[in-house]
Structure 1
Amino acid sequence: MMVTSCFIVVGLIASWFVAGALIAPNPRAIGEPPLELNATAFSVNSQSGSVISGWHTQPDFSNGVIVLLHGIRGSRLSMLDRARMLHDAGYATVMIDLQAHGESPGGAITAGYLERHDVRAAVEFARREHPDEPIGVIGVSLGGAAALLASPLEIDALVLESVYPNIHDAIHNRVAAKLGPLSSIPTWLLLIQLKPRLGISPNELRPIDHMPDIECPVCVASGTDDQHTTESETQAMFSAASEPKHLWMVDGAAHVDLLRDNPIQYRQHIVRFLDHHLRDEH
């Protein structure tokens, strides 16, 4: 009995430190806007409590604007290759640092719960700067989860890359990738910290429940070998969406940057999807 109690105490202490590291802010200096993209820096207030920093890029002539949302522990720099590809395709972009990332302050990373307000602030900025143009959003992992939790966004197209369906599966998959069949107890120890640490219930972190709230065409993409967001979970996300929708399963890709993994197919699937719904239909 005493041995079991000691294991539980040790597990709680270890999981507390692990969870603290997972949600710790990830600040970093970003640098100057890329001149080749005709980019300017901006900041907007968010209901997350943060002042969100970002870049606004503009081609000579644009027929649409894309809001780019990075993954966990990333920043707008993570989305720069996408901005370049979209710039060449004639799209303006709005890239932001989600709260507690990059140059946007915040007390903790919240798996999309607070970050959803940053998404709304970025979309509103895009709408103000491009009032007569269609708006698309590309959200990667955390960024996609935040976009779903913020839905409906009154946009014209949404791309979701490697987005977790619910926080239980997200944590379980990440723990299982390291511990295998021993993952159940560590997963539980991490989940029970959501409320005391962040004031969030696991039921409030279920992006899949918001798939029916999307009021625009959606593209769901992920890798077939992604252990963090499995192929079956991605299929479930896609099934929960309404038409029109598009699924892109990237053969052999793990939980990686899908653009860097296969830039040719990324252009064929993602940019073509945006072209069809932001240009052909407008």
Structure 2
Amino acid sequence: MKKTTMASLAAPFVLATGVAGISERLYQYAFKRVNQVPETSAEKQKYASVYYDYVKWLRDQPTETWMLHEDDPQQQLVATYLAATPASKQTVIISHGYKGNGETMANYAQLFHELGYNVLLPDDRAHGKSAGRYITFGWLDRLDYLDWLKRIINHDGEEVRIVLFGVSMGGATVEMMSGEQLPDQVRAIIADCGYSSIDDELVYLLKRNFHLPKYPFLPAVSAINRRRLGFNLNQVSSVAQLKRNHRPILFIHGEKDVFVPASMLEENYAATQGPKVKWIVPNATHAESFWVDPAAYQQHVRDFLQQYVVDSTPLPIAE
């Protein structure tokens, strides 16, 4: 009887220890910074050669390095700024994907450069040359981008027209920015395959990649994140932020995306309160919409910007 009682008392401890250990490993896997960009997925290897052509193009441009919190190595953030030629009063801030960096967005930088935009390419927290131990999946990055916006306005002038653009985690980042009190200079947003919330995304990936249930693992991972980064994962929601947005948004999503399912596009699209356009790209997987047909991608972006940035007058923004 004594052995049975001790075993039954120990069982919850063993279970909790197991959950804690697995949750810590999951947290490290998903949130810990990487200092090198991981290899792309197998289906995108066919684009590798042309991708590196874009990277070479960006490296050959006369760029500037911008910094935030330059005197604090623990908080320092780095971005690359590429001025338009000829000079322009239209600027895009491009938000990169999970475990990428600004340079991995070279193809989009060239697209906007060809459209006559100044381009800012930040490295998010825990990515590239920026400081940080843990990835925040856009939540704290959205606040950093408010500081980048101030820097753009100071550099390019009060009359600058700004576009927010992002892909994957970057798409979610600009969607989450949309719910903040943005300066009037921000005219439009383009979000390519952004997730609806990090809760939804992690639940989906827990099941798909690890065959694990939401409970008890997601709450445990969220508790770890709260201790280390100061916020609960259920706060990280594009949908909640988009409900406060009144700016025009172009949503882009690959029809065959199995990393951020297209159903998340529908949630984001339904949430936003401003003018909205969606383009679901046939046969495109996650973050593949540009690569499937770069010319069509540029045309959709151009048409949207022509309406809401180039030919627009300032919108009355209800904050």
Shared fold, TM over 0.5: yes
Q: 2:181 aligns with which of 140, 152, 162?
A: 152
Q: Which residue of 2 aligns with 1:18?
A: 26
1:40 lines up with 2:64 in the alignment? yes
State the 1:205 CA deviation.
1.0
Which range moves more in the overlay, 64-73 or 247-256? 247-256
SS of the counterpart of 1:246?
strand
- Counterpart of 1:146 in structure 2: which amino acid? T
Which range moves more in the overlay, 54-63 or 97-106? 54-63
Q: 1:98 aligns with which of 115, 124, 142?
A: 124
Instruction: Give me the whole-angstrom Cα distance separating, in 2, the residues matched to 1:188 and 1:117.
Output: 24
Q: 2:263 aligns with which of 199, 212, 232?
A: 232
1:139 lines up with 2:183 in the alignment? no
State the 1:189 CA deviation.
4.2
1:6-85 matches, cutoff 5 A: 6=14, 8-27=16-35, 34=58, 36-45=60-69, 50-61=75-86, 62-85=88-111
State the 1:36 CA deviation.
4.5
State the 1:88 CA deviation.
1.2
- Counterpart of 2:129 in structure 1: which amino acid? E
CA gap of 1:123–1:223, structure 2 versus 1, over 3 A, is same
Q: Could you tell me the TM-score, scaled by structure 2's length?
A: 0.78
State the 1:4 CA deviation.
7.5
The superposition leaves residues 11-39 of structure 1 with CA deviations (integer Å, 9 ceiling, x where unpaired) of: 4312211211311123359x999465432
CA gap of 1:198–1:44, structure 2 versus 1, over 3 A, is closer
Q: Which residue of 2 aligns with 1:248?
A: 279
Q: Could you tell me the TM-score, scaled by structure 1's length?
A: 0.87
Give yes or no for contact 1:194–1:201 (8 Å, CA) kept in 2: yes
CA RMSD of aligned residues (A): 2.7
SS of the counterpart of 1:147?
helix
CA gap of 1:163–1:173, structure 2 versus 1, over 3 A, is same
Q: Which residue of 2 aligns with 1:175?
A: 206
Give yes or no for contact 2:246–2:275 (8 Å, CA) kept in 1: no
- Counterpart of 1:52 in structure 2: which amino acid? L
CA gap of 1:219–1:24, structure 2 versus 1, over 3 A, is same
Give yes or no for contact 1:211–1:241 (8 Å, CA) kept in 2: yes
1:119 lines up with 2:119 in the alignment? no
Which range moves more in the overlay, 129-138 or 188-197? 188-197
SS of the counterpart of 1:210?
helix
- Counterpart of 1:197 in structure 2: which amino acid? R
Instruction: Give me the whole-angstrom Cα distance separating, in 2, the residues matched to 1:5 and 1:212.
Output: 42
The superposition leaves residues 165-216 of structure 1 with CA deviations (integer Å, 9 ceiling, x where unpaired) of: 1222010111222245x43344454344332333212332112111132242
- Counterpart of 2:80 in structure 1: which amino acid? W
Instruction: Give me the whole-angstrom Cα distance separating, in 2, the residues matched to 1:257 and 1:43.
Output: 30
Percent of matched pairs sharing the same residue: 20
SS of the counterpart of 2:68?
strand
State the 1:265 CA deviation.
2.4
- Counterpart of 2:239 in structure 1: which amino acid? I
Q: Where does structure 1 lack aligned partners over 5 or more consecutive residues?
A: none
Give yes or no for contact 2:255–2:284 (8 Å, CA) kept in 1: yes
Give yes or no for contact 2:191–2:250 (8 Å, CA) kept in 1: yes
Which range moves more in the overlay, 33-42 or 99-108? 33-42
Give yes or no for contact 1:162–1:222 (8 Å, CA) kept in 2: yes
Instruction: Give me the whole-angstrom Cα distance separating, in 1, the residues matched to 2:57 and 2:111.
Output: 16
- Counterpart of 2:213 in structure 1: which amino acid? S
Give yes or no for contact 2:246–2:274 (8 Å, CA) kept in 1: no
Q: Which residue of 2 aligns with 1:110?
A: 136
- Counterpart of 2:113 in structure 1: which amino acid? H
Q: Which residue of 1 aligns with 2:242?
A: 211
Instruction: Give me the whole-angstrom Cα distance separating, in 2, the residues matched to 1:55 and 1:136.
Output: 16
Instruction: Give me the whole-angstrom Cα distance separating, in 1, the residues matched to 2:193 and 2:160.
Output: 27
Give yes or no for contact 2:167–2:287 (8 Å, CA) kept in 1: no
Q: Where does structure 2 lack aligned partners over 5 or more consecutive residues?
A: 1-7, 38-54, 314-319
Give yes or no for contact 2:188–2:247 (8 Å, CA) kept in 1: yes
Give yes or no for contact 2:246–2:272 (8 Å, CA) kept in 1: no
Q: Which residue of 2 aligns with 1:198?
A: 229
Aligned residue pairs total 279
CA gap of 1:81–1:120, structure 2 versus 1, over 3 A, is same
